[in-house]
Structure 1
Amino acid sequence: MDQLIINANLREKRFALVKNGEVEKIYIEQPGQQSLVGNIYLGIVEKVIPGMNAAFVNFGEGTSGFLQKDKLSSYVLSDKENKANIPLGSYVHQGEKLLVQVEKDAAGTKGARLTGVIELPGENIVYMPRGKYIAVSKKADSSETRARWKEFASQVKTDEEGLIFRTESLNQQEEVIIRELDQQRSLYAELEKSASGMKKPGLVFSRDYFFEQALSALAAVKNGTVIVDCLEFKKKIDLHVPEGVELEFYNGKEPVFSFYKIEPEIERLLKRVVWLDKGAYMVIDQGEALTMIDVNTGKFSGKTDLRDTVIKTNIKAAVEAARQIRLRDLAGIILIDFIDMKNSGERDKVLKAIQKELIHDDRRSRIVGFTELGILQLTRKKTKQSVAETLTEKCGTCGGTGQVLSSETVAYKLERELWEYKNSDYEEMLISATDEVIRHFSGEADIHKLRLEKALGYKIKFSVSDAARPFFEILQAGASTEQDRTKAGH
């Protein structure tokens, strides 16, 4: 039985989609990291860069957004021949005010990606006031169905408008679509009116992204239950719960995610190692530019031979990799280093396994194929932060690398710094250092420390630091004292 478990009673909002007892999707939205995707702003063009065929737009959210030429409504609506070769300045100019919508959130030093072709999503259609485009859901059962809806769209829309018919629209009456279209037109007219009264760049329309994502997950619930721990959210989603699906309010003492065993699943999504059957495992390393997934057999061995082991492990890894990509919301370039396969037939089996699993993903992905080194390349559209990016931050100790200098390396660095004071007027150096650094520096029975003191011409005294990483700091250089100023001297 399917379950959609929604935790919406606190500032951090989350939901989990569970199918056949296995978590299929986890979505987390924190107040400080809410996606701007779909929000509409009044923007002012700051720079027009012909060489990039793009403009930078101040839309009131700190870092300027990036707006490409083919995302300008003036470009889309243009009927000029060979318009792609017409200079950017013909479509946009510096200081121009225009409505823009966020297509992709800012990431790192990159600003948000914007579009001037506004989309207003409804239950049945996506309305584009200046989109000049007609499309029908790919899930339409026949080319005749698509042709019928396209003909209908050409009759009800203006030349400038664009319409996308969602899957939900395919079984609706035309009157329902026309009524929704009129509502979307009225909404856009209100947005234009609001924007015209604004003097500075800023937000014009904000989407309830969490609610929209929850509705998307709800569409995947078949003959199951929706569990919500917030009465207000329960009332809001109640109107959209289909027949055959029960809606329950959870008011237990234990947090809803803990009660339904979702918290341990979230913790697993933050770990590098993902265990497969029979001791095989994957290691997932997520970076800013790409994600690398490395497959290892571990203790798994097939019943027949090594090749049997390899192909079975790789197929299991392909299925689980697709699931982890979906759960962790990984995006951008993704490389999967499977165990070496000898021929194209084995690779095809693995390819089919991951393709079959990616069908369940609501985010667009593209499998590029295997490289000469046997690494599978794929890309997945990024619209928001991954689970790890949402829940974690860079380590203050290692700077986000996952590594720190070893105690031995830091001890050698201290030795080099002390050598700079050779034959100085100082009689003694007082140094704060972690215990392991002191041990490596001094050696057994202080043999290295005594040798260095003799060579440098001054005494070395230590105080023990409780720093979280291998560390030293020269606290004082000066005349020697008879009093031992160390917490742990040598």
Structure 2
Amino acid sequence: MNEIIVDSSLNQTRVALMEDRELVEIYVEREDNKRTVGNIYKGRVTNVLPGMQAAFVDIGLEKNAFLYVKDAIPAHMLEDSDVSSKDISIRDVVKNGQEIIVQVMKEPIGTKGARVTTHLTLPGRYLVLMPYVDYIGVSRRIGAEKERERLRGVVEEIKPKNIGVIARTAAEGKEKKELKEDLKFLLKLWQKIDKERHLGFAPRIVYRDLDLLQRTVRDMFTNDIDRFLINDKEKYKYIVDFVDLLSPHLKSRVEYFQSDVDIFDYFQIESMIKNALSRKVWLRSGGYIVIDQTEALTAIDVNTGKYVGSTDLEDTVLKTNIEAAKEIAKQLRLRDIGGIIIVDFIDMGNKEAEKEVLNILEKAIAKDRTKTNILGITQLGLLEMTRKKVRQRIDSILQKKCSNCNGTGKVLSEYTVIHHIEKEVRKIVHHTNAEAVLFEVNPAVVSTLKEENNHFISELEKETNLKIFIKGSELVHNDAIHIRSVGKLDKVQGLLPI
């Protein structure tokens, strides 16, 4: 059973896609992280970089957007010509100060600004409109050649000249009338955008894509979804009207969740989200995978863990890798991991077993709506794959870097902190005439000092002729040192607990 569960609250909307009561995709939209992909802007070129074959464009966001030459070349420059994008310089396409219309194709991620293109696309329910090219396409997910040819023929009949149209996966099995209505809506939308782009000065937004709820109905609520639940009465009514407009036959599947129980708690989604943020993911057999994410790539390690098998080592390894392959495909969708992905499966030493695991991984990944390529196994026995990076990973939306460890996941050991205390003591002795000092540290540091029977402090006092007091506090981070007082002995002692 496939379900879409929506949790609508005052400051955010969360959408969960469930397959057989398992969370496979989660989307979060807040006021501070509203999606920009699909938005169309009137921007101004601020810097042309021939060495990178790209340009920076001010579109009004915090960071300037990045425009590659292949995303900037107008279609007419390549028509009836053997010239490729590699033969054209970015300086021949855009100039500093030039106003251009661009569409965001990749969200700003980390320190990078949004990636934009001048090749605009407008997605509808069944079709995608491309106003600047004359082209007909059919989604690769539609496998039946007969259906592909039928859709190509229908699109050719209904589309205007010099306009590109792609039939989306949802177009499969749809009649000409439904496709024509969708195209009519997209053409009206383009007329409005075309008029708007000539108005006002850059940078400004020309068209804002649908919000999360609307995109969910448009892109995810298909015949494969058995139920659509939402916990907000007003938004429920709006969704029913929106579905009635796009897919009337699905209207009966939309339900209002009326309960005092939190909708995500009721379906145990909160605990699933918590697991999606964990570094280690346990498999049902007792094995586990470890997911380490960096800015450049994601590394996934497969381990047998508690699973010891029942036949032989080869069988144990194969079963663990098969289970891990299915889980990895699920985790890529759930965490929305993009970019380069390296998987270290347990060494199988058997080409047939390797092929079986890869086939299972490919089959599991087929459910993913984001483009993913499995490149094969390297000489080191590592699986290479890539997944299109479009938006921020779910962990970067729900979490932030620890202010103490700065995102490393590690803090200084107690012995390192004790060494820092010694350095601070020597600085105080060198630069002041103080008689005593009071340090406030984490209780773990105090425990370590006590294990040393306070020899360290007594020896340091004897060497520096400075009275040293150490006070433990849960409010002090593990690797921090707070100097509470430095000066006369009686003054420092007055701050100690009685």
Alignment CA distance shift 1:76-1:285 (3 Å): farther
Alpha-carbon separation, structure 2, partners of 1:56 and 1:164 = 29
From 431, 447, 470, the equivalent of 2:479 is 470
Kindly indicate whether the alpha-carbon contact (under 8 Å) linking 2:297 and 2:341 is maintained by their aligned counterparts in 1: yes
Residue identity matched to 1:368: L
SS in 2 for 1:432: strand
Number of the residue aligned with 1:216: 219
Number of the residue aligned with 1:451: 459
Number of the residue aligned with 1:61: 61
Residue identity matched to 2:215: E
Shift of 1:157: 4.9
Residue identity matched to 2:191: A
Residue identity matched to 2:266: F
Alpha-carbon separation, structure 2, partners of 1:415 and 1:142 = 74
Deviations 1:376-435 (A, max 9, x none): 221111111222111111111211111110111110122133234556662424132223
Number of the residue aligned with 1:94: 96
Shift of 1:483: 6.8
Alpha-carbon separation, structure 2, partners of 1:478 and 1:311 = 67
Alpha-carbon separation, structure 2, partners of 1:9 and 1:421 = 53
Alpha-carbon separation, structure 2, partners of 1:218 and 1:180 = 16
Number of the residue aligned with 1:14: 14
Alignment CA distance shift 1:295-1:457 (3 Å): same
Residue identity matched to 2:24: E
SS in 2 for 1:66: strand
Shift of 1:214: 4.0
Number of the residue aligned with 1:312: 319
Map 1:155-166 onto structure 2 (within 5 A): 157=159, 160-166=162-168
Map 1:396-475 onto structure 2 (within 5 A): 396-421=403-428, 426-434=433-441, 435-441=443-449, 444-465=452-473, 466-475=475-484
Residue identity matched to 1:468: H
Number of the residue aligned with 1:4: 4
Superposed CA RMSD: 2.6
Residue identity matched to 2:28: I
Unaligned runs of 5+ in 1: none
Kindly indicate whether the alpha-carbon contact (under 8 Å) linking 1:427 and 1:457 is maintained by their aligned counterparts in 2: no
Alpha-carbon separation, structure 2, partners of 1:301 and 1:483 = 60
Shift of 1:305: 1.4
Residue identity matched to 1:360: K
Residue identity matched to 1:295: V
Kindly indicate whether the alpha-carbon contact (under 8 Å) linking 2:340 and 2:386 is maintained by their aligned counterparts in 1: yes
Residue identity matched to 2:104: V
Number of the residue aligned with 2:493: 484
Number of the residue aligned with 1:234: 236
Kindly indicate whether the alpha-carbon contact (under 8 Å) linking 1:61 and 1:202 is maintained by their aligned counterparts in 2: no
TM-score scaled by length of structure 1: 0.91
Alignment CA distance shift 1:445-1:151 (3 Å): closer
Shift of 1:144: 5.4
Alpha-carbon separation, structure 2, partners of 1:425 and 1:468 = 27
Alpha-carbon separation, structure 2, partners of 1:451 and 1:21 = 62
Stretches (4+) displaced over 6 A: none
Kindly indicate whether the alpha-carbon contact (under 8 Å) linking 1:77 and 1:130 is maintained by their aligned counterparts in 2: no
SS in 1 for 2:74: helix
SS in 2 for 1:278: coil
Shift of 1:321: 1.2
Please say which of residues 131-140 and 86-95 is displaced more in the overlay: 131-140
Number of the residue aligned with 1:247: 254
SS in 1 for 2:235: helix
Number of the residue aligned with 1:82: 83
Alpha-carbon separation, structure 1, partners of 2:76 and 2:146 = 27
Residue identity matched to 1:450: S
Shift of 1:241: 5.6
Residue identity matched to 1:87: S
Alpha-carbon separation, structure 1, partners of 2:145 and 2:236 = 39
Number of the residue aligned with 1:264: 271
Alignment CA distance shift 1:309-1:76 (3 Å): farther
SS in 2 for 1:18: strand
From 129, 134, 137, the equivalent of 1:135 is 137
Aligned length: 488
SS in 2 for 1:271: coil
Number of the residue aligned with 2:306: 299
Deviations 1:118-172 (A, max 9, x none): 1111122111111343211224455455455546655665664221122333544
Map 1:340-359 onto structure 2 (within 5 A): 340-359=347-366
Alpha-carbon separation, structure 2, partners of 1:269 and 1:318 = 16
Deviations 1:357-382 (A, max 9, x none): 00111111111222223222211111
Shift of 1:201: 0.8
SS in 2 for 1:25: strand
Kindly indicate whether the alpha-carbon contact (under 8 Å) linking 1:426 and 1:477 is maintained by their aligned counterparts in 2: no
Kindly indicate whether the alpha-carbon contact (under 8 Å) linking 1:275 and 1:281 is maintained by their aligned counterparts in 2: yes
Please say which of residues 87-96 and 387-396 is displaced more in the overlay: 87-96
Map 1:274-285 onto structure 2 (within 5 A): 274-285=281-292
Number of the residue aligned with 2:38: 38
Shift of 1:42: 0.8
Number of the residue aligned with 2:28: 28
Alpha-carbon separation, structure 2, partners of 1:225 and 1:307 = 42
Number of the residue aligned with 1:383: 390
Please say which of residues 344-353 and 233-242 is displaced more in the overlay: 233-242
